[in-house]
Amino acid sequence: MMSSENRSDFSASCSSITEEARAKINLALHVTGQRPDGYHLLDMLVTFADHGDRLDFVPSPTDAFTLSGRFGGTLAGGSGTNLVLKARDLLRAAIGPLAFPVRIHLEKNLPIASGIGGGSADAAATLRGLTRLWGATLPEEALAALALKLGADVPMCLESRPLIARGIGEELEPVPELPAFAMVLANPLKGVSTPEVFRRLAEKNNPALSLALSRPQTADWLAAIADARNDLEPPARELVPEISKISAMLQAHGALLTRMSGSGATCFGIFASMTAAEDAAAALHDERPDWYFQATETVSGGA
């Protein structure tokens, strides 16, 4: 066991660690059933955007947590229940004496509770960052188990690469053939209740996701994604009519394909190029400066 003096010397020698918490994009989300415990069974095609939150981890005499960014103020009042702190405490309990005090700074750039995995991505980035900072050597399976304790989306955010996720989100299959997409993320900054979206879901035993995983061309992938769906989008549109409006706005500005991500209210539009996405995001921001529009590019499966 490492003494407190040695822990202090070790933490003092550590430099800061930075982790990106990429936005999680549900390109498709099929609700295929429901377990007896109430959890819904899902088939999802998931990718991750270059844009997201950012976390910095620095050794500190005592634990500390600070916030900045466009949406940092939304979390400030409830930082005690923030998934970042839950992830820190869970990992500390798992690795023991190596877990010296740390100051964590979260730059919150993603809207809160918006269907793009912001909180889950932050928790996953915390697990990755503190594992590096603390020099922990947890097996991948053990780290994935910790991630699942934090939420069904956290294991896929821990991977942060194109995946098919099944079950409640814990059964992960890489999709190395998925290309990168130029994209605009759009959110009317109006909250959607995920439990209410699921409650309004008319059918919970829908056809499973079916995709050929060897499509070499972006156009083929776009066609396959267009043939898929987000089963949560119709009930979310009932709750938040702005979702329909923001999807129409993306189409009007040249999106090749639009869809809602997760349980909403963030929608995405896929564009032919980053230039087209950036031009659309700028125009959309001019139309509704009170809403959220962000041009980004998703990661490719082969990255």
Q: Which residues are catalytic, by number?
A: 24, 153
Q: Rounded CA gap, 18 and 107, in Å?
A: 11
- DSSP 8-class letter at 98: G
Report H helices in the chain: 4-13, 72-76, 83-95, 118-133, 140-150, 154-159, 194-199, 218-227, 233-239, 242-252, 274-287
Q: Rounded CA gap, 17 and 168, in Å?
A: 31
Per-residue b or e along 101-121, where b marks 16 or more CB atoms closer than 10 Å to that residue's CB: ebbbbbbbbbbebbbbbbbbb
Q: Is-contact 255 280, C-beta < 8 A?
A: yes
Q: Rounded CA gap, 157 and 124, in Å?
A: 6
- DSSP 8-class letter at 298: B
